[in-house]
Structure 1
């Protein structure tokens, strides 16, 4: 990831598999077909994500913001039921990693414990991911940095001081492994709150690649992030926005993800170099599109060529308009017919 590389597109499957491993495999295959570089899951269990008292409190609610805390379509009446159903175990990670490897798409996951980080490192995932909820957890971040693996650090919910402290965990030995992700941890955020230009500030301040993890609706914002130089794009992924579950509504479906992948690469190619040379094709085009100095009337051999006898027309294979001063007041070496290109050999 970073300067000179294509944007790395991550399909964040998260818990959108709804606890169904057949669906999870189908989603990995769809992400590959869309052109994604990686799929990412989440490695947590009921007892590693929340305290029991907090689970009980949430279980008394039907919603947390826009997130449904019950999924009756799946027989899940409370968030406790969801946590049991939607988790993806270590054994399931092994299965899904093998499936992704067989398709040729990178695999990763977000873990919440040191034990699970060790497991992911042993599993040889493509990168480790630090969620926005842990940006203020320097001990955990340092543990991950010391794995010496490519690491993506999300910065949602975080102020500048917290981001600086998190980045400090990678200094000085592990900075080459770090990619920061600008995130707005709202589902979805209002456009005015997204602030994609923050990526520029992050690059300048920390000197590492910066990507964008998107929770907006549609594909416009992640593609705008690519235009602003995002090294990676992470987008929640679903096969159907109408499926029951936590994140399907704010996820990209295959038609949207296909656009993100193809157009991100097209945008990257179009951004090109800040100091490009004129391409050979454009040089050839100039012969047809630019103008040359031509005569407006017959000029006899020995006549002085004055400005009133000259004009400018296509093709651009003769003397260029910006060389006019080297033609005016020269003497014609031969008769030059009206509406004829003037050449250097025609001048004394």
Structure 2
């Protein structure tokens, strides 16, 4: 798969981020895939990791994780319950293929990359926590597959280092996602204009990985030119687990996708011209020069003889100065729309 498959013309590539919202259950993961298919997204994404390789045994949890899970539990213990085995990955990828949706997963370590390679994933998505993990980025880039890189918590310099590391392998199939790594992210911190700063700086396709409540921001960034959107979703926001409350439910996910597709259509082309169905309105909505008194053949037209009224079937208002002083070759009546025939000798 190449970038043209990800960025298909003007179509936004929408990733439904299941993440760890399966809570370690294969059946829940399948139901998440069903919900993503029903929402008509392009891909459903999970997370591939081993808690033993990801965190130390006593690593603390983030504040938002303490609010949504047992605060006496370590990050290691929380993540250990959310791992998926290779066989479970294999089942989920096959289930995606059967349902005609792209399977994706974010690897958090070298062994997880190897697992996904063994599965034959087509695209790599790298999370914001590894934007500065240059050894992992290089290892992924060497697989010579498209990469979508989130850039939460990163400076432009750090993004530049990541881009240089990936391109140094000869892999230039890279898209960058602006991101704010709070769960949920506050609107005042989103800084959407940074997305286009990256587009200008690196001349790459850009998008947005969203953690704000609701669906407004993903819709806005599509209007701004985002080509990739990633959004967390869950079956139920009240489920136990770190990310459910900052996720969309299935119905919200469907609404987001529908709104994005509507915006894509509405963006249209860059040409300023009347829409086909606007042309029908030209005659009824626009105006014409209208005579406001009866006048005979040979009489001149003066400015005070002219009103400007609908419909737009006669001489356009922009020609008013031209007809002032012209002589009529035909009679005209009060409230008659002027046409050029009134001034032309047959």
TM-score (norm 1): 0.91
Distance change (3 Å), C-alpha of 1:3 and 1:26? closer
**Alignment match of 1:19 (pick from 18, 24, 28):** 24
Partner of 1:207: 203
- Name stretches of at least 5 consecutive residues in structure 1 with no aligned partner: none
Distance change (3 Å), C-alpha of 1:79 and 1:115? closer
Distance 2:229 2:190 in 1: 14
CA shift for structure 1 position 80: 4.3
Distance change (3 Å), C-alpha of 1:70 and 1:236? closer
Distance 2:68 2:257 in 1: 33
Distance change (3 Å), C-alpha of 1:124 and 1:235? same
**Alignment match of 2:51 (pick from 46, 55, 60):** 46
**Alignment match of 2:281 (pick from 276, 285, 308):** 285
Partner of 1:35: 40
**Alignment match of 1:67 (pick from 65, 68, 72):** 65
CA shift for structure 1 position 217: 1.5
CA shift for structure 1 position 338: 1.3
Distance 1:80 1:162 in 2: 27
Deviation readout 1:294-341 (Å, 9 max, x if unpaired): 111111111112222111221111110001122211111111111111
- Name stretches of at least 5 consecutive residues in structure 2 with no aligned partner: 1-5
What is the number of equivalent residue pairs in this alignment?
337
Distance 1:276 1:119 in 2: 50
Distance 2:296 2:41 in 1: 69
Contact 2:59–2:74 (Cα < 8 Å) also in 1? no
Contact 1:70–1:78 (Cα < 8 Å) also in 2? no
Contact 2:59–2:75 (Cα < 8 Å) also in 1? no
2:263 paired with 1:261: no
Distance 2:235 2:184 in 1: 18
CA shift for structure 1 position 152: 0.5
Which SS does the other structure have where 1:87 is aligned?
Answer: coil
RMSD (Å) for aligned C-alpha atoms: 2.1
Which deviates more from structure 2 when the two are superposed, residues 224-233 or residues 118-127?
118-127
Deviation readout 1:96-144 (Å, 9 max, x if unpaired): 0111111111110011233332332343324101111111122221221
Contact 1:188–1:217 (Cα < 8 Å) also in 2? yes
Distance change (3 Å), C-alpha of 1:81 and 1:134? closer
Deviation readout 1:136-195 (Å, 9 max, x if unpaired): 1222212212222111111112122211010012326322x1110111111122222111
Partner of 2:86: 90
Distance change (3 Å), C-alpha of 1:144 and 1:271? same
Which SS does the other structure have where 1:86 is aligned?
Answer: coil
Deviation readout 1:269-296 (Å, 9 max, x if unpaired): 2223333322222222111100111111
CA shift for structure 1 position 69: 8.6
Partner of 1:174: 171
CA shift for structure 1 position 210: 0.9
Distance 1:70 1:235 in 2: 19
Partner of 1:112: 108
Which SS does the other structure have where 1:311 is aligned?
Answer: strand
Which deviates more from structure 2 when the two are superposed, residues 216-225 or residues 315-324?
216-225
Partner of 1:220: 216
